[in-house]
Each structure stands twice: as structure tokens, then as C-alpha cells.
Homo-oligomer: A and B are copies of this chain.
Amino acid sequence: MAGTNSERELIAEGPAIILVEPQLGENIGMVARAMANFGLGELRLVSPRDGWPSDKARAAASKADHVIDGAVVFATLEEAIADLHFVYATTARQRDNFKPVASPVTAASTLRSRFSAGQKTGILFGREKSGLKNEDVALADEIVTFPVNPAFASLNIAQAVLLMSYEWMKSGMDDVTATPFQEIDQLPATKDEVVGLFEHMEDALDSRGYFRPAHKKARMVDNLRAVLSKRGFSSQEIKVMRGVISSLDRFSRKNPRGSGAPLNEAGEGSDVDDGVES
């Protein structure tokens, strides 16, 4: 599994994911995988249609075996949530009841606060075909719903679990713009290195008669330096660039393609000879 570090401790805490009468084992497996991706571990199944355990669920879980092995089956939703202090119901539809409605961001923040206070929480997900019934929703404290495209609002159950798991993970981060790994650390080049690149490039071009007509040279150098400095090269990148210039400067094509002389910035052909060196 790309990017997985199996020496890192598995995170598995936070709200229980409760699937109400799930139909397909494959979906239960995808749910388990999504939970594992974002550090949730507790899966509860209310009366799964095709029974439990399920080989299809295990296969689809892509090695999230700790979630599959820990899953607990209940006969009724009431039993499945009996020990919980606070429960969200996920739904894409306005319900004819008086529950508060939260976004995933708000719900994750609420779940995180309650988790920190030692409360046990859960999130209910409905049947693949028909979602949660009103009597299921009635057992929850609040509703959570997703900011979907109104013309295409039906989320797959594993996708819905993924989004809540992802927001749960983010709710525990000090900075949601943080990334698990960063750009390789490189110091910007010093000005001495940058000027070295300028001069190397300019010398290579000058020796080919690039800066023509002569009275435009100062302006052309300014423009070239603007292009080269805008990018913000690192020291390492300056080395790469100087290697490129050296190669272009010192060697000719072994197998010249085309016979046109190179064009300079002004689109005028160079009259420098391009003889093969080696």
C-alpha cells in the first residue's frame, strides 16, 4: 500500500461508525477501509442483510482487518447505540423533525469536543438504497448533512463514511493546511550564486553574438535576469541550471537536427558557427 508506514502505531479512536441494515458486504469493507484511512476503529452493524462475518467485506477492506475483526453486530439500532452519549444521523434530506442540522465540519468539531470530554459518540449511516428511516433519525441527537451538488446528492455509503472520517481527522489537527510530509527542504540560493548563474548564461550567449544590436544589450540582460530571478532558485537548482548551461555552451549536438541557426530573444538568427566538437 503506497505511502503506508506499517511501523507507525494504528490510530483507532473517536466516534463509532454505525451502519443501519447495510446491504452489501463490499460496502461494509469499503467503510472499514475509509475508517482506517482516517484513524477510526469502531464499527457497529445493525442487522446486516447478508449476515456477518463477510468474506466480501474483508476483501473490500484492503487489509483494514482490525476494523473488520472488531466489528460488532446488533439486532436493533437501540441496542447499537445504548452505551453512547451523543449520536449524529447522516442524511441528505430535510426531515420533518426538530433536530439541529450540522455540516461535516461542525459535526466533527462537536464530536472532537465530546471525545475530549470523555463522552462516547457515534454516527449513523443508512441503508444503501433508502438511507435512514425517520424512526432511526429520531434516536439521534442531531443531523449531519453534506454540501453536495443538489442535482446529484446521493453519496455512496463508504463515501459518506470517508467524508466524516476525514473531517474527524482534520478536527484533531492544529492546522488543517498541514501535510504529512513537506517539500524537500532547500535554502534559496544566495545572491552570489544567482549572479554566478546570470554571468555564466550571459557569457555563453555573448560568445555566440546573442546580444544584438549592441545598444540593446543592457536591456536584454535586464530582461534575461528578470526571467531567471523570478523563479526563486535554490542552491541545488542553481547547480542544475549551471550544468545545463555548461553542457549547451561547451558541447554541440552529436546528431544535429535541422540546419537553422538558433534564434535570440529578438527572433534574429545567430551567426555563430555550430560546429560539432566531439
Residues of chain A touching chain B, judged by Cβ–Cβ distance below 8 Å, are 1-11, 30, 33-34, 36-39, 62-64, 91-94, 96-103, 105-106, 126, 130-131, 145-156, 158-159, 162-163, 166, 169-170, 173, 176-184, 186, 234, 236-237
Contact = CB atoms under 8 A, between A and B. Distances in A.
20 contacts: A1-B154, A2-B154, A3-B91, A3-B131, A4-B92, A4-B151, A4-B153, A5-B151, A8-B151, A36-B152, A37-B149, A38-B149, A64-B152, A98-B186, A101-B183, A102-B179, A145-B179, A145-B181, A147-B166, A159-B159
A239 to B, nearest CB: 12
Which 6 A-B residue pairs are closest in the complex by CB-CB distance?
Answer: A3-B92, A1-B154, A3-B153, A8-B150, A94-B181, A36-B152
A126 B3 CA distance: 13
Main secondary structure, interface of A, reads: loop
B183 A106 contact: no
A5 B177 contact: no
B153 A11 contact: no
B62 A183 contact: no
Contact of A179 (B11, B101, B158): B101
Given A152-B64, A162-B163, A147 B11 contact: no
Contacts of A38: 147-149
A96 B99 CA distance: 50
A234 to B, nearest CB: 7
B184 A96 contact: yes
A60 B131 CA distance: 18
Contacts of A97: 184
B169 A149 contact: yes
Contact of A178 (B103, B159, B183): B103
A147 B162 contact: no
